[in-house]
Structure 1
Amino acid sequence: MSRDTSLQSDISKGNPTTKDGSFNRAPSSFRNTIQKGGQFPPEAGFVAGIIFMFPWLVVRIVISTILCSSSQAPGGTAWAHRTLIVRKLKGLEDLISVSTVSPRMGANGWPFSNVDEFPGATTDPVNNSDHVKDLYLKAEPDYGGRFTVPVLWDTKTGTIVNNESSEIIRVFNSDFNHIISPEKAALDFYPTNLRQEIDEVNAWIYDTVNNGVYKSGFANTQKAYEAAVHPLFESLDRIEKILEGKEYLVGGCLTEADIRLYTTIVRFDPVYHGHFKCNFRTIRGGYPNINRWLKNLYWNNDAFQSTTDFDHIKTHYYWSHTMINPTRVVPAGPIPVIEPL
């Protein structure tokens, strides 16, 4: 008899909150990396009839995505979306394959297309899994954490390399530079001279904005909600001032700070404003500098636009979070989902 994992897979049952009703995000569990000379080295090779840039390792991002204009665009989580943006910016599409799951995350978590034939979802060709949870239990049968995306998977040892998006994007930023084009290798979204400032910006934006929208939306008491939503908008006010007359958050160039913020802001008006009760102001109606920054990234950089699908985004949140939206009705707006330049 298989053990009950519903508290790990069903977000309506296992959503972690503290005694006062505050949302408490659990840390990621798999924290290895891909590096030359390490346990998972990036090298050239041939695996399972498909050419990859690894001798025995296929690194696959298991991520909520759909196919859009011949490119793969993530829907559900802002965390997974980060990895696909950096993957495209660094030209890693031919080196790192992507399996796509349905945005309709149900009682068993994220399903593959053999369970839910949502448009653009795919099967798991390596493990023939039904759900992302199958990968976690294959990697660690006694695993007790959440079954989250993204996931980096090692096909030789049959285990998860990493499931922490902030670490995966840094792997993509630098650890493949020796096997990609010099032009792509020269792109550095975490430059040494800006790291301290990037880390400082990331820290407060993560706590109050990236995770702040979830702390607001998943709070189950008024007090916990108020404790999250006010710092969220205080930080948006702070970001608005930072972006006054600027194109990017740090150093006058595109960095991981912009990438990490983008995946939250692009979801704000379509999802977080209504679904998560983050309704002091919309981005388009209350933050002209942030809105300009958002539109410039979306409309002027294909790595952002081609990895953003608003129907998929809205389907995930409004369909999956039945404790917030029990009818699973997905709203038609906003119109337009993002404003033109």
Structure 2
Amino acid sequence: MSITPLAAVPSAHRTAPGFRGRIGRDARSGHYAVPHRYRLHLSTACPDGLRLAIGHHLLGLHGSCPVTFLPAVPDCPGGGHAALRPLYEASAHHYTGPALAPVLSDDWSGRIVSTHAPEILRDLDRFPGDGRPSLYPRGTESEIEAVERLCAEGIQEAAQRAGRADADPAERAAALDLLLDTLGRLERYLAGEEYLVDGRLTAGDLELWVSLVQLDTVHRYHLDASAVHRIAGHPALWAHARRLAAHPAFGTHLDLDGIARRHHGHCQGLEAAGAAVQILDWTRHASR
């Protein structure tokens, strides 16, 4: 994908997590990529958890890095998962914050390696494997990062601002314009290409797919029907989403009921007319 127009998008600023250990390529890193040492803890109702579940599946790490799937809605007062509390308490003295997912833990020490999803996915990509494809092929890193920034700011954040009931109408309109411009740029590219980067399935496609899932299953509930119809008017983009939904690594991890329960548990906004305008029938297209 030509990233020249995308590279101008500034970096997204996500909330800094509490643990950001990295898995290196050898023993000198402290945490090195060895089978049967690490474990993922995630909820596929969460966008970060869904990204990691798909990436883990694509990388074929089922036997070497097990996954513990968590409930869609956190079960601790104030947020967090009770099952993760021992890991947090072992990793930070007198820890009193919420035990949030996703988590990559070290079974050898019983402690947390990282809670930072983008770095976890990159580190999983370092695990040894014979003949498996890489989610971050050498030489494509900057292009994939540009796609990730574009999705974070031009789709996820723009859609959230466009649907804020307490925002100024001009601010909502500007956010919707940014969202539609972003979708239009991706539409023009995907009209002639099967994948976003280097002609193959990479983390860029994974990022876009999860962003489109959130757009259709969460954000559209806070947009008016006209806006959702305009969002839906990108046939190549949504055809790309349908194709990936039919891929076992994507469709098998799509928990629509869990996403809905998580959304209703967290959302403080008002539902708009767009709620009735579903863009994709995800259940029909998802592989099971």
Write the distance in 2 (CA, Å) between the matches of 1:146 and 1:208. 29
Moved over 6 A (4+): 330-335
User: Of the candidates 191, 207, 229, which is equivalent to residue 153 of structure 2?
Assistant: 207
For residues 55-85 of structure 1, the C-alpha deviation after alignment (integer angstroms, 9 at most, x for no partner) is xx3x222211xxxxxxxxx2x2111111111
Aligned to 2:8: none
Cα displacement (A) at 1:144: 8.0
Unaligned runs of 5+ residues in structure 2 are: 1-12
Contact 2:229 2:277 in 1 (8 A): no
Aligned to 1:13: none
Write the distance in 2 (CA, Å) between the matches of 1:79 and 1:288. 26
1:264 correspondence with 2:211: yes
User: Of the candidates 195, 200, 203, which is equivalent to residue 248 of structure 1?
Assistant: 195
Aligned to 2:185: 238
SS of the residue 2:245 aligns to: helix
Contact 2:195 2:201 in 1 (8 A): yes
1:337 correspondence with 2:282: yes
CA 1:160–1:216 in structure 2 vs 1: closer, same or farther (change >3 Å)? farther
User: Of the candidates 25, 41, 49, which is equivalent to residue 32 of structure 2?
Assistant: 41
Between Structure 1 and Structure 2, how many residues are aligned?
A: 266
Q: Counterparts in 2 of 1:48-87, with a 5 A limit?
A: 53-54=35-36, 57=37, 59-64=38-43, 74=44, 76-87=45-56
1:153 correspondence with 2:142: no
SS of the residue 1:193 aligns to: coil
Write the distance in 2 (CA, Å) between the matches of 1:247 and 1:219. 36
Contact 1:109 1:131 in 2 (8 A): no
User: In percent, how many aligned pairs have the same letter?
Assistant: 24
User: Of the candidates 172, 179, 183, which is equivalent to residue 131 of structure 2?
Assistant: 183
SS of the residue 2:282 aligns to: coil
1:323 correspondence with 2:275: no
Write the distance in 2 (CA, Å) between the matches of 1:194 and 1:335. 30
User: Of the candidates 39, 46, 67, which is equivalent to residue 98 of structure 1?
Assistant: 67
Aligned to 2:138: 192
Write the distance in 2 (CA, Å) between the matches of 1:198 and 1:172. 16
CA 1:331–1:234 in structure 2 vs 1: closer, same or farther (change >3 Å)? closer
Aligned to 1:5: none
Cα displacement (A) at 1:263: 0.9
User: Of the candidates 29, 48, 53, which is equivalent to residue 18 of structure 2?
Assistant: 29
Name the Cα RMSD after superposition. 3.2
Aligned to 1:281: 228
Aligned to 1:46: none
CA 1:334–1:241 in structure 2 vs 1: closer, same or farther (change >3 Å)? closer
Aligned to 1:167: 119
Q: TM-score by structure 1 length?
A: 0.68
Contact 1:270 1:337 in 2 (8 A): no
Contact 2:106 2:113 in 1 (8 A): yes
Cα displacement (A) at 1:292: 0.7
1:292 correspondence with 2:236: no
CA 1:145–1:214 in structure 2 vs 1: closer, same or farther (change >3 Å)? farther
Cα displacement (A) at 1:189: 1.8
For residues 22-54 of structure 1, the C-alpha deviation after alignment (integer angstroms, 9 at most, x for no partner) is xx84223322112321211233xxxxxxxxx34
Write the distance in 1 (CA, Å) between the matches of 2:282 and 2:152. 24
Contact 2:165 2:269 in 1 (8 A): no
Letter in 1 for 2:123: V
CA 1:278–1:83 in structure 2 vs 1: closer, same or farther (change >3 Å)? farther
SS of the residue 2:54 aligns to: helix
SS of the residue 2:33 aligns to: coil
SS of the residue 1:153 aligns to: strand
CA 1:333–1:131 in structure 2 vs 1: closer, same or farther (change >3 Å)? farther
**Structure (1/2) with the larger helix percentage:** 2
Write the distance in 2 (CA, Å) between the matches of 1:142 and 1:204. 38
Q: TM-score by structure 2 length?
A: 0.79
User: Of the candidates 202, 209, 221, which is equivalent to residue 167 of structure 2?
Assistant: 221
Letter in 2 for 1:136: Y
Write the distance in 2 (CA, Å) between the matches of 1:220 and 1:142. 38
Write the distance in 2 (CA, Å) between the matches of 1:340 and 1:283. 22
CA 1:298–1:284 in structure 2 vs 1: closer, same or farther (change >3 Å)? farther
